[in-house]
Structure 1
Amino acid sequence: MALTQLQLNSLSVAKDIGKAFGLVAGLASYRVSPSVLLLIGSIEGFVGYGVQWLVVSQRIQPLPYWQMCIFLCMGGNSTTWMNTAILVTCIRNFRKNRGPVSGILKGYVGLSTAIFTDICTALFNSDPARFLLMLTVVPFFVCLFAIVFLREIPASSTAAEEKSETRYIGIFNAVAITIAVYLLVFDITGDHGPTLSRVFCIILLLMLASPLLVPVCIAIQNRIGSNEKTLDIESVKTAVTEPLLVHQEETVTETGNVMDEAKEKMQPVIGEEHTVFEALKTIDFWILFVLFLCGVGTGLAVQNNMAQMGLAVGYADVSIFISLTSIWGFFGRIGSGSISEYFIRKAGTPRPLWNAASQILMMVGYVLMAIAMPGSLYIGWIVVGICYGVRLAITVPTASELFGLKYCHTLKIH
């Protein structure tokens, strides 16, 4: 579109600014349901990416540059509404496995870049207009489908429920890793004919749909169990008619009232529920904010310019770098979520430790890119992709553990 490098950078900034307004989605979640958040995000993404498709496909005249910035901002902001609705709902539903759940969800977000890129390459010969059309249509209809099912449910309360929950999450992990390896093999093997490309897409779509078998199997098992065993409703009714605490109001002394009022005014400690303003008063929030800004911010800046970096080094086709960063970023997200959950249970290892380790390794990846030796760009992208994924997956459960789940839809970092 004959844009300068400076104009391209500004468009990338406009997209990132849209994500920065994710706070609006967090505040809206206080008053509307997750389904409404999904609907808002899907419509905003449909408009934002739809206008970009109309311009790139030359179905309308090119818009003024400032208007294009607005529509890129809308496209970026749409993901924050989807992210808020899905991520927070799932973390609340699976509180005992918030690390693995965050890793799976964030992992698929990162993997989606490779999925869309590879499908576009396989079916449409990397046509940018077709690529934007996929971004316009596919998330819109997927969100409309998800609206029917997305809701909060009671968290697991028994050992059997926790064991079953962990087992099914393990199945989701296995499926996700299989998809990532499948994409990686497709990218490494190079050019493919039209027939193999179509077969690749069909198998990929089947693999993406395969997790739907888990809730279907659970529903069938529950239906069979309910048919085999008749529950006597009257037998489970409690015979207790008197409350456990009688005339509680009369037993509270004046001193107790004063102590309760004082407790309400005290700043909650780390690990308890925090409001937004209470979290802003803690040093822990600002440390987490700065670490996220530096770690994820630099990774995002590199990803926004990976095409230019590849061309500068001499690579004609830079799509492989996009896929590599996406796939290895997925491994970083899904691996860090499960590994951090394991060590926090077994040894009490704090999650921020993994953030520190990933930041050190990310610096190594930047150095490998900077020296621009043969092959170093490939290694650098892989290292940065893994570490970038770790930062995204670890930060969300860390914020919920520090400041509670009640307001994490506003406190979580997009």
Structure 2
Amino acid sequence: MSPNVLRWFSLVALLWLQSINGTNLSFPAYSSQLKEFLSISQFKLNYLSFASDAGKVLGFISGIAAIHLPLPLVLLAGGSLGFAGYGLQYLCIVKKMFTLSFYQIWGLSFLAGNSICWINTACFIVAITGFPLNRQVAVGITASYQALSGKIYTDIVHTFFYSSQREAASGYLLLSSLVPLACCLVTAPMLMREAKAMSFSSRDVNVGFIFLFVVTIATGIYSVATSLLPVPAVLALIGIVLFLLAPLAIPSGVRLEELMSSTRSQQKVYNLEAPIEEDQKKEEEVDEKAIVGVREEVEWTKLWKRLDFWIYFGLYLFGPTVGIVFMNNLGQISESRGCAATSSLVALSSSFGFFGRLLPSLLDYFLSRNRYMPSSPVSMAVSLVAMVASFLLLLIDSDIALYVSTGMIGVFSGALTSLSVTMTAELFGTKHFGVNHNIVVGSIPIGSFAFGLFAAKVYRDGAALDGRFDGKCFGMYCFQTTLIFWGMLCSVATVLATVLYLRNRKFYSQKL
């Protein structure tokens, strides 16, 4: 198999991996049932949601491992950690095979959260090195599929496990344990780390990405439609599987074209063929020199000396992290407002998050050549302003406002996640990207704990006002103060994004 075909097979493998790697996105769908099964308070439930995010604190280990180990091994390590983290919870909580303390369950959630970092690291490195001239496009498309995870797991649970709420919760735990490991085993042989010494045919890339955009957009529209309309879960699931298989047409088409080209070249005279090979080498050289958009290479041990790093770290802490904290609390937000369709909200947020992560790639691919594409910090600032508006809209006591705001937060938090991957590479280079980005993502557990703890306190105080002893709060006031606080944090992140742009505006002007 030629390197070019393998490169596209690797990209398809990344789509599959990311589509099942967002196991934490389905947590809101069964968090209320988990709270009842374990007989824990809202504070302890917040600690469990924080545990998954806390696993990202050690995410930098996966980046270091990727420097020294083959990427398939990094991938399989991630699948194995998730298998242990969720699998042991399933055997303990659902099957009652043994008893674990709350702190032990917390540790398993931490392990499961760390597994996501290993799979992400392998995926991002393959996307960046496999398509160096189109890394925003490759990263954005593959990262967008991770937002589908909540939708995919919800459809599977509704198809096979939804006879009762308890069985639904057990289904999420079982699937989160088995599906990522199985997908890692299938895709590990398909990963290609390096794209050196190969021809980058601009025609192949353009045709491949345009086809992939069409399939991806169609997948997102289908996902949103089946989240909003009363479509049987089994039909929704079959459709998603077919859409996930559709990108295989790209490497198959490239392979067919290579076979046809090989047949034609055999009919040519050797002297006529030589200039073609020479031109191909020149094309490779030009393409290698065209790999731009990185200011400098910064080793991960020197990040803390950079002011840009601390500004960027704060930006991620007060921006994308707040969107994650909102998702962690979506089940309780929905319940407190009297909306019973929590799983539908999770699927809706997942589907719109899919478009949000894809949006930067679409804009970069079609607008960057015309110099209309805003820089990454500016795009992040715009997304953060929209996040502030979304939290303010949530203050309206209406199911419509809840659905619209959830969709908006899904879109713009997804866009922030996609943009952050590219901005890490722009600010600190690609050589140490695996470690550097995981250090930036380390802000997630800090925000998840602090901002989630604040939400739990406001929720508990609201339950006390109702005079309830079961710890449940009902009413708009349960999260009203929290929503205002989250909106203020996003406002701070907007200022930090602006500062980051002003400090690097010369670099971004040259990049354009």
Q: TM-score, normalised by structure 2?
A: 0.69
Number of the residue aligned with 1:351: 376
Question: Does 1:294 find its partner at 2:318?
Answer: yes
State the secondary structure of the residue aligned to 1:319: helix
Whether the 8 Å contact between 1:156 and 1:162 is mirrored in structure 2 is: no
Whether the 8 Å contact between 2:128 and 2:138 is mirrored in structure 1 is: yes
Question: Does 1:382 find its partner at 2:422?
Answer: no
What is the CA–CA distance in structure 2 between the aligned matches of 1:284 and 1:215, rounded to whole Å?
39
What is the CA–CA distance in structure 2 between the aligned matches of 1:197 and 1:349, rounded to whole Å?
39
Question: Does 1:322 find its partner at 2:322?
Answer: no
Q: Runs ≥4 in structure 1, deviation > 6 angstroms? A: 231-235
How many aligned positions are there? Answer: 378
What is the CA–CA distance in structure 2 between the aligned matches of 1:184 and 1:34, rounded to whole Å?
33
Question: Does 1:410 find its partner at 2:410?
Answer: no
What is the CA–CA distance in structure 1 between the aligned matches of 2:412 and 2:49, rounded to whole Å?
21
Question: Does 1:179 find its partner at 2:219?
Answer: yes
Whether the 8 Å contact between 1:276 and 1:410 is mirrored in structure 2 is: yes
Shift of 1:212: 1.7
1:137 to 169, 172, 178: 178
What is the CA–CA distance in structure 2 between the aligned matches of 1:121 and 1:330, rounded to whole Å?
20
State the secondary structure of the residue aligned to 1:28: helix
Percent identity between matched residues is: 28
What is the CA–CA distance in structure 2 between the aligned matches of 1:337 and 1:387, rounded to whole Å?
14
Shift of 1:374: 4.1
Number of the residue aligned with 1:273: 297
> Partner letter of residue 378 of structure 2?
L
Provide, for residues 177-201 of structure 1, a one-character-per-residue CA deviation record: whole Å limited to 9, x for no partner.
21221122222123x5xxx443332
2:125 to 55, 80, 88: 88
| Deviates further, 79-88 or 342-351 | 342-351
1:224 to 257, 260, 275: 260
What is the CA–CA distance in structure 2 between the aligned matches of 1:157 and 1:272, rounded to whole Å?
24
Provide, for residues 310-365 of structure 1, a one-character-per-residue CA deviation record: whole Å limited to 9, x for no partner.
00000122111111111111111101222145444432631111100000110111
State the secondary structure of the residue aligned to 1:3: coil
What is the CA–CA distance in structure 2 between the aligned matches of 1:162 and 1:339, rounded to whole Å?
18
Shift of 1:32: 0.8
Number of the residue aligned with 1:189: 229
Whether the 8 Å contact between 1:369 and 1:380 is mirrored in structure 2 is: yes
| Cα pair distance change 1:107/1:404, threshold 3 Å | same
Shift of 1:404: 1.6
Question: Does 1:214 find its partner at 2:250?
Answer: yes
Structure 1 unaligned segments of length 5 or more: list them: 238-268
Whether the 8 Å contact between 2:204 and 2:254 is mirrored in structure 1 is: no
Shift of 1:106: 1.3
> Partner letter of residue 175 of structure 1?
V
> Partner letter of residue 353 of structure 2?
G
Shift of 1:155: 5.8
In the TM superposition, what are the counterparts of 1:63-74 in structure 2 within 5 Å?
Answer: 63-74=100-111
State the secondary structure of the residue aligned to 1:29: helix
Whether the 8 Å contact between 1:91 and 1:102 is mirrored in structure 2 is: yes
Provide, for residues 205-248 of structure 1, a one-character-per-residue CA deviation record: whole Å limited to 9, x for no partner.
122112122112222222332233239999869xxxxxxxxxxx
Whether the 8 Å contact between 2:155 and 2:236 is mirrored in structure 1 is: no
Shift of 1:59: 4.3
Number of the residue aligned with 2:283: none
Provide, for residues 7-60 of structure 1, a one-character-per-residue CA deviation record: whole Å limited to 9, x for no partner.
110001111101232111111111112111001101111111111221232242
| Cα pair distance change 1:346/1:155, threshold 3 Å | farther
Q: Rg larger in 1 or in 2? A: 1
What is the CA–CA distance in structure 2 between the aligned matches of 1:157 and 1:282, rounded to whole Å?
35
State the secondary structure of the residue aligned to 2:395: helix
Provide, for residues 221-279 of structure 1, a one-character-per-residue CA deviation record: whole Å limited to 9, x for no partner.
22332233239999869xxxxxxxxxxxxxxxxxxxxxxxxxxxxxxx97122212344
What is the CA–CA distance in structure 2 between the aligned matches of 1:33 and 1:138, rounded to whole Å?
22
> Partner letter of residue 394 of structure 2?
M
Structure 2 unaligned segments of length 5 or more: list them: 1-36, 276-292, 442-512
Whether the 8 Å contact between 2:295 and 2:427 is mirrored in structure 1 is: yes
In the TM superposition, what are the counterparts of 1:115-134 in structure 2 within 5 Å?
Answer: 115-125=152-162, 127-134=168-175
